[in-house]
């Protein structure tokens, strides 16, 4: 194990990444964004143990439907069997590793490897369990009939959870259950998955997923959405000038009024000890936008009224629409736009970005049509707001690779030691709506603990309390 100094380049050996993340001083080494060895440790210790977003149930509505996705460095298939159950299978033949499916989506009863034609059942009708090995060419001649097919099925992910249609999976059988992993951050997921009128799980995704690659480390993406509201005024000034939001020219891109936006009172960021973060808080509730088109304004006004009445009866908060990030790499917004982003790591300096776009199942055609156009001009590879962000992430990665640049850490000192208590479990708020890097510090602290390969009992012990909520400085609880 190396004892690398926090400002120095590190050798290509196992790195103790907690030495590179100093949350007490608010300094983080650039190495964690560019170092190949640290990237390999992430693939080994983080992504196979974290709950990752795989896809949406509406992408596989029928028996035999499948959707190709990724979990860290591994290709997977999200499938629905003939009993309606959801599965996540490793997309790699057990014989020589070829992908058994190279389509983005479709419907089939079996996957046949194109290399040597081993075939696997998707629905379980031909075998004991979906994903099991069904057919092997020349079985008798090649294996004298002794191949134990029941041992050579596609690798099944042991932990799969559909949360109101959002499908998550985890390779680690010892990992905490999904509800424990998420904690009180579920309020943000609820707002993402529920319809605009509050109907639980009342959303689906538009068909098709935007996929593109950027020359950036994946963590820049997660950090941006978990609470970096500091960049908005400078980075997105041109977008605001153009007027791509619901209200058109002169209105904000998210649709809120000027006195409701990032500078309004009442908005604070929310940071969880488990690494999740949101750029707002549950008490920050603002009505849906006023649109340039009257019929849209009326549709969403009715949806807001219905939702408010429902949630008031249930004594549920109305706020919590993000943007937000579920640790480590699922980012989303539950308002305008309402979309999911997953930052798939390709290398230390390259990321494949996937975006899903959500719409109410009950939405009429004119609402669907407007949302589709809004999403396209806002997010994705051609979206104006997304292009602003991508430029920052790409240049930040590139300019941090230099020999001299790597000697100097990034500054994460906004609001250091000024966290505000929260009613949520093991969470705090920022002391300012725009400034404040409390979310990023918590994200990287948890990231370092997991990437260093700590066991789940050790990780759970570290996250038993959030010392920030009691006014302690980070690290004081361990002293």
Tokens of 370: 């407007």
Tokens of 457: 């009992």
Q: What whole-number distance in Å separates Cα of residue 171 and Cα of residue 287?
A: 39
Q: Identify the CA nearest to 236 among candidates 376, 381, 413, 378.
A: 378
DSSP β-bridge partners for residue 108: none
Q: Identify the CA nearest to 53 among candidates 157, 208, 202, 206.
A: 157
Q: What whole-number distance in Å separates Cα of residue 98 and Cα of residue 81?
A: 22
Residues 287, 306: contact at Cβ < 8 Å? no
Dihedral-angle region of residue 21 (phi above 0 means left; psi in -120 to 50 means alpha; beta otherwise) = beta
Q: What whole-number distance in Å separates Cα of residue 205 and Cα of residue 358?
A: 4
The length of the chain in residues reads 479
pLDDT, residue 202, reads 97
Measured CA distances, 254 to 107, 118, 188, 193, 401 (Å): 37, 50, 17, 18, 34
Q: Which residues of 270-291 are buried (b: 16+ CB within 10 A; e: fewer)?
A: bbbbbbbbbbbbbebbbbbbbb
Q: Identify the CA nearest to 133 among candidates 120, 114, 151, 148.
A: 120
Q: What whole-number distance in Å separates Cα of residue 191 and Cα of residue 430?
A: 21
Tokens of 19: 């030495």
pLDDT, residue 201, reads 97
Q: Does residue 415 have a cis peptide bond before it, meaning omega lies within 30 degrees of 0? A: no
Q: What whole-number distance in Å separates Cα of residue 29 and Cα of residue 38?
A: 12
Q: How many CB atoms within 10 Å of residue 208?
A: 12
DSSP state, residue 288: P
In SS3 terms, 237-261 reads as: HHHHHHCCCCCCCCCCCCCCCHHHC
pLDDT, residue 4, reads 45
Q: How many helices (H) and strands (E) does the chain have?
A: 13, 23
Measured CA distances, 281 to 265, 300, 323, 338 (Å): 12, 22, 11, 17
Contact partners, residue 457, CB within 8 Å, separation at least 6: none
Tokens of 16: 């103790």
Residues of the chain with pLDDT under 50: 1-5, 477-479
Q: What whole-number distance in Å separates Cα of residue 285 and Cα of residue 282?
A: 7
pLDDT, residue 435, reads 84
CA angle at 306 for the pair 304 and 310, rounded to the nearest 5°: 115
Burial (Cβ within 10 Å: 0-12, 13-18, ≥19) of residue 230: middle
Measured CA distances, 186 to 165, 193, 200, 286, 322 (Å): 14, 10, 13, 19, 12
Measured CA distances, 310 to 189, 289, 334 (Å): 17, 19, 18
């Amino acid at each position: 194990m190396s004892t690398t100094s926090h400002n120095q380049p590190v050798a290509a050996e196992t790195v103790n990444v907690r030495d590179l993340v100093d949350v007490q001083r608010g300094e983080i080494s650039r190495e964690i964004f560019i170092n190949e060895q640290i990237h390999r440790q992430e693939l080994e210790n983080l992504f196979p143990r974290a709950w990752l977003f795989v896809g949406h149930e509406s992408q596989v509505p029928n028996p035999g439907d499948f959707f190709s996705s990724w979990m860290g460095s591994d290709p997977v298939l999200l499938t629905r069997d003939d009993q309606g159950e959801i599965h996540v299978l490793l997309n790699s033949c057990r014989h020589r590793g070829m992908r058994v499916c190279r389509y983005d989506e479709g419907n089939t009863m079996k996957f046949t490897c194109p290399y040597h034609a081993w075939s696997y059942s998707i629905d379980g009708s031909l075998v004991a369990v979906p994903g099991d090995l069904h057919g092997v060419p020349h079985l008798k001649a090649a294996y004298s009939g002794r191949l134990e097919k029941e041992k050579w099925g596609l690798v099944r992910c042991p932990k799969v959870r559909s949360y109101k249609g959002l499908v998550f999976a985890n390779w680690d059988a010892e990992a905490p259950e999904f509800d424990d992993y998420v904690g009180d951050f579920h309020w943000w997921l609820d707002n993402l998955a529920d319809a605009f009128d509050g109907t639980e799980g009342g959303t689906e995704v538009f068909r098709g997923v935007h996929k593109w690659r950027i020359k950036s480390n994946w963590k820049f993406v997660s950090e941006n959405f978990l609470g970096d509201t500091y960049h908005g005024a400078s980075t997105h000034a041109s977008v605001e000038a153009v007027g791509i939001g619901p209200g058109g020219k002169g209105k904000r891109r998210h649709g809120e009024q000027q006195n409701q936006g990032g500078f309004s009172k009442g908005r604070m960021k929310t940071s969880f000890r488990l690494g999740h973060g949101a750029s707002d808080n549950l008490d920050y509730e603002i009505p849906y936008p006023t649109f340039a088109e009257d019929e849209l304004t009326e549709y969403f006004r009715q949806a807001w009224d219905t939702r408010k009445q429902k949630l008031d009866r249930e004594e549920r908060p109305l706020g919590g629409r993000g943007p937000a990030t579920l640790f480590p790499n699922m980012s989303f917004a539950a308002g305008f736009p309402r979309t999911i982003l997953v930052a798939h790591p390709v290398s230390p300096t390259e990321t494949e970005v996937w975006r899903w776009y959500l719409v109410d199942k009950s939405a009429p055609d004119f609402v669907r049509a407007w949302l589709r156009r809004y999403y396209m001009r806002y997010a994705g590879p051609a979206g104006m707001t997304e292009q602003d962000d991508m430029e920052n992430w790409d240049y930040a990665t590139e300019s941090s690779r230099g020999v001299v640049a790597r000697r100097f850490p990034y500054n994460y000192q906004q609001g250091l030691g000024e966290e505000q208590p929260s009613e949520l479990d093991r969470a705090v708020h920022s002391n300012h709506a725009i400034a404040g890097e409390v979310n990023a510090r918590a994200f990287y602290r948890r990231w370092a603990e997991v990437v260093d390969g700590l066991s789940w009992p050790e990780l759970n012990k570290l996250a038993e309390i959030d010392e920030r909520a009691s006014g302690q400085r980070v690290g004081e609880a361990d002293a």
